[in-house]
Amino acid sequence: VHDCCYEKLTDCSPKSDIYSYSWKTGVIICGEGTECEKQICECDRAAAVCFGQNLRTYKNKYMFYPDFLCTDPTEK
């Protein structure tokens, strides 16, 4: 999902652009910046929230699992 969000960004460099954010009472807040920086931050924020919500079911064996081996369970 995270990489999919990055792929939707146009004229942005999500792997190298730097953005600002803050953490307030358990909420990630994306800071000011260019439109790309804001969008990249939103992708990362959504991923961080998802990771936090699913921490109990995380399996360490998938830490470096190759993307090309992933499949969408809804696609058959």
Please give the annotated binding residues for Ca(2+), written as ranges.
3
Q: Is 2 a catalytic residue?
A: yes
Query: Where is the binding site, in residues?
Result: 3
Torsion of CA 18, 20, 21, 22, to 10 degrees: 130
Tell me if residue 67 is catalytic: no
The values of phi and psi at residue 55, to 5°, are -55, -35
For residue 24, the surrounding DSSP H or E stretch is: strand 21-24
Contact in structure between 20 and 28 (CB atoms under 8 Å): no
Q: Which of 11, 44, 67, 72 is catalytic?
A: 44
User: Annotated active-site positions, please?
Assistant: 2, 44
